[in-house]
Amino acid sequence: MKTNALVWMAVFVPIAGSLLLPLAGGASKALRNLGAFILVSTSLLCSSLLVPTVFSGTSLRIPFPFLAGNQLFQADSLAVFMAIVSMLVGAVIVLYSMGYISHYDNQNEYYFMVVLFLGSMMGIVYSANLILIYLFWEITAVACWRLIGFFREKNCVLSADKAFLITGFGAFVMLIGFIMLYGQYGSFDLQVIKSASATNPVNNLAIFLILFGILSKSATLPLHTWLPDAGVAPTPVTALLHAAVLVKIGVYVYARLFVSTFTIDPAWNSVVPMIAGISALVSGGAALIETDMKRIIAYSTISQLGFIFLGLSIGNPLGFAGGLLYILMHSIAKGGLFLCAGVVEQKLHVKDITKLGGLIRTMPVTAVSFLLCAFSVMGIPPFGGFFSKYMVIAGSLKSGNYLITTVFVLGAFLTVIYLFRIFAMIFLGEAKTTPVAEGAPVMVASVAFLALLSLAGGIFITYPSLYVQTAVQQILGVMP
């Protein structure tokens, strides 16, 4: 199969297929569920088949014939890496949903929005044009709005509206920045902008506007408040938001534009780590005092995103490689934490960790899976999260950012404390609720798979590291 066709399929199989899922649901729920999984898995397979091509250093540029102008898709090592990470965790979440969502209303809309959301993420990942990035960015916003408000209760709708307004306003501000870039360079094409900005650096105001939009999507302080509130959504949705796709859109677009495309004032390499450090520290402190388990994990996401931004922004090849690995390891482990929380919540209908305890006796697989995923997020060797966190901090030190590095080391200690706290209060000690068994088999299997993948990511770190080295070489022109 031609590589161009693989890119087209990776994007449009889930987008076009999502439109058919409500029709399939009218005939058979099992057919609809299987169809959603096949659509996401097909996109994952197509992106995976691109690995040999991009691993060799090839970067594909693919015409987009349906719009006038120079709209293009592209597939390079960064795009394919992000596509595989998003769709791998997305496929597990769709599988988990078959057990979690099975007794709720609006299931046809749920699967339609989830698959549309994932397909739109592929659109962002493979876009080589600012207008296409913005178009798919906004589709994800609409899908998230519907998914966060899935239960239709007043607090759910308000939380969905809040997320939509904050991220939507950020997208509007970002669009103004894109228009300023067009005014400066006469094109929305990333390749044209990259060549032109090498001798004419991007306007600082445009950089600020675009960065504002990115930080709103990635729930970075002070634009973070919508993310913890989004915990009212079904757990597979919160896992999708926090781990696999939504907040990762921001860090991906940052890597694509600020690292791979723009030539900018070097001062921004100090500003972004400062913002990321403050966000990581404040959100880590919030996780330490919060009692709602989904909000604790949400604040943890905000904190860990700070590490990713640090790695991507310090201008150091080692840190950039660590930031990319962090995206992979965090997506897997944090997805597992949320899905474990969903098993507990659905069985006991309790989210307050002070009212839980002793569940390891009756839910051992969920408990162990939670702990393994937590180890990876903490950065405990030999889990995958250890290597990515080490590379980010080492890269920061190598760049001479001693104060920022100290802030992030403190943030890493906070991560260990609040994740051990949540594990101990939910799974250890005396039982405070009626004993319950494990969740649905498909849900438990999903969390166990992500837990084992978190461990395997560290044991077999050589393989993702080799790929990341290729991405760094292709984007920065140097090895980490």
Per-residue pLDDT reduced to its tens digit, 327-366: 999 999 999 999 999 999 888 888 889 999 889 999 999 9
Place of tokens 């150091």: 316
d(CA 203, CA 193): 12
CB-CB contact of 287 with 256 (8 Å): no
Look at residue 432 in the predicted model and tell me its pLDDT: 78
Specify the number of domains making up the chain. 1
Q: What is the pLDDT of residues 372-384, one digit of tens each?
A: 999 999 999 999 9
pLDDT tens, residue by residue, 442-460: 999 999 999 999 999 999 9
Instruction: Return the pLDDT at 315.
Output: 81
Confidence check: pLDDT of 64 > 80: no
Instruction: Please tell me the predicted confidence (pLDDT) of residue 380.
Output: 94
In a domain, 181, yes or no: no
Q: Is residue 320 part of a domain?
A: yes
- 257 pLDDT exceeds 70? yes
Nearest 5°: phi and psi at 159? -65, -40
Structure tokens at 290: 């919060």
pLDDT value for 479: 56
Confidence check: pLDDT of 1 > 60: no
Q: What does the pLDDT average to over 465-475?
A: 88
Residue 302: inside a domain: yes
For the chain, give the percent of residues with pLDDT over 90: 57
**What is residue 358's predicted lDDT score, i.e. its pLDDT?**
87
In tens, the pLDDT along 427-447 reads 998 877 777 888 889 999 999
pLDDT band at 67 (very low <50, low <70, confident <90, very high): low
Q: Is residue 151 a part of any domain in this protein?
A: no
pLDDT category, 36, cuts 50, 70, 90? Answer: very high
Domain extent at residue 406: 266-480
Average pLDDT of every residue of the chain:
89
Fill in the DSSP letter of residue 64: -
Q: What does the H/E/C string look like for 380-397?
A: CCCCHHHHHHHHHHHHHH
Q: Is residue 319 part of a domain?
A: yes
- The per-residue pLDDT for 414 is 94
| Concatenated DSSP letters of 103-142 | TSS-HHHHHHHHHHHHHHHHHHHHB-BHHHHHHHHHHHHH
Give Cα separations from 90 to 44, 87, 151, 219 (angstroms): 9, 5, 21, 20
Is the pLDDT assigned to residue 244 strictly greater than 70? no
The pLDDT of residue 126 is: 94
Instruction: Identify the residue with better confidence: 219 or 127.
Output: 127
pLDDT tens string 139-196: 999 998 999 888 888 888 898 899 889 988 999 999 999 999 999 998 898 989 999 9
- The verdict on residue 403 lying in a domain is yes
